[in-house]
Chain A
Amino acid sequence: MAKFTKKSKASTAISVASLPDIVFILLFFFMVTTVMREQDILVEQKLPAASQLQKLQKKTLISYVYIGNPKNVALYGTEPKIQANDALLNPSDLVQWVNQERDLLPENERGLMTISMKADKEVKMGPISDVQTELREADARRVLYAATKKVD
């Protein structure tokens, strides 16, 4: 019996001195990968699901348009609205916005500019087609319908 007690005394607690280091490594990983959202999204965003998703290689070529019912009904009403950058736009302002975005890109990549349309499920085709008409007008014809992966 005495022998047993001796052994159990030998195995002391695990050293936790390296625990902070491990946690710090994890912390740095998340700090580096986190991208803080620069813009407030003012419209509802429940993306529809689809199966045939493609991923774009170059993120710098993507500009985002958000379409959905406003979150703040008191301020913006209940009709679907279009948001680009930080503000709500009228469809007629989209051409100007596209041109601004295009000017930010290097000249040789302007033709590959893609508009990612983040439209809410609840939106009807009317606003979507208005946006598409304006995008055709602005000659930004690569459109990505943002969607989530469908779970079968």
Chain B
Amino acid sequence: MASRMKKEAPEIPAGSMADIAFLLLIFFLVTTTIASDKGILNFLPPKQDPNVPPPDIKVNERNIFTILINANDQLLVEGEYGSTEGLDEDVKAFILNFGAPDEEGQAIYNSLPASLQSVVRRDPKSSDDPSEAIVSIKTNRGTSYDIYLEVFDLVKKAYFDIYAARVNLSSEEYRALSDEMPGESELQDKGKAGIPMAISIAEPDKQGGN
């Protein structure tokens, strides 16, 4: 009797196992989204104390590179109609203008690689020195976020290009540096030294929005 039972219990066919596994596989393939946490990093200024009036800092107009974007997404760059095309090169030329550098500025100038020294114009109407240069972006409330980010991206590009060229890396490699790895944070600091990333984002005014 027992031997008969044994004979009647055959193997389960495993041929369909592959099909079942494939179905599951396809389900997970379709639902998987590789999460990406990439973006452009920005540091907001600290909040203002309402009791303390904002400090009255005198900055020469020539040391500020103003980019205005209106509610129609049109650009006014340094008082002239502009476009996003070539904006990064203009910003780069502004930062590395060295109109009237002090001693430290001169030292920075001497340390620049030839590819960056060729950008220097020494225009008296533009920035004195990279440590003084400020890039200001001002928008309206009706400006689209897309164009704001595009402009912000280009300004960042100008800075990263400079930093990367100073440490002989490509811009891509420089941005991938992490400050937790030994050696890499030194490279980061070396690229930045003396040229702070001064991007000012002004409070948008009320036009064209709500």
A contacts, CB < 8 Å to B: 16, 19-20, 23-24, 26-27, 30-31, 33-37, 48, 50-57, 59, 62, 79, 114, 116-117, 119-126, 128-129, 132-133, 135-137, 139, 141-150
A82–B69 Cα gap in the complex (Å)? 24
Query: How many A-B contacts if CB must be within 8 Å?
Result: 151
**CA A135 to CA B22, docked complex, whole Å:** 47
- In the complex formed, the residue of A with least CB distance to B32 is A34
Report the minimum CB–CB distance from A51 to chain B (whole Å).
Answer: 6
Instruction: Say what secondary structure dominates the interface of chain B.
Output: mixed
B40 touching A125 by the CB < 8 A rule? no
Contacting residues, chain B, for A23 (C-beta < 8 A): 18, 21-22, 25
Chain B residue contacts of A117, Cβ below 8 A: 39
Q: Which 5 A-B pairs have the closest CB atoms?
A: A126-B141, A30-B28, A126-B209, A23-B21, A146-B39
Query: B-side interface residues toward A, CB under 8 Å?
Result: 14, 17-18, 21-22, 24-25, 28-29, 31-47, 139-146, 148-150, 152-153, 156-157, 160, 171, 175-176, 178, 180, 203-204, 209-210
Contact call B40/A52, Cβ cutoff below 8 A: yes
Q: Establish whether residues A52 and B25, one from each chain, have CB atoms under 8 Å apart when the complex forms.
A: no
Q: How far is the CA of A150 from the CA of B153 in the complex (A)?
A: 11
Partner of A128, one of B25, B145, B150, B175: B145
A62 touches B37 (CB 8 A): yes
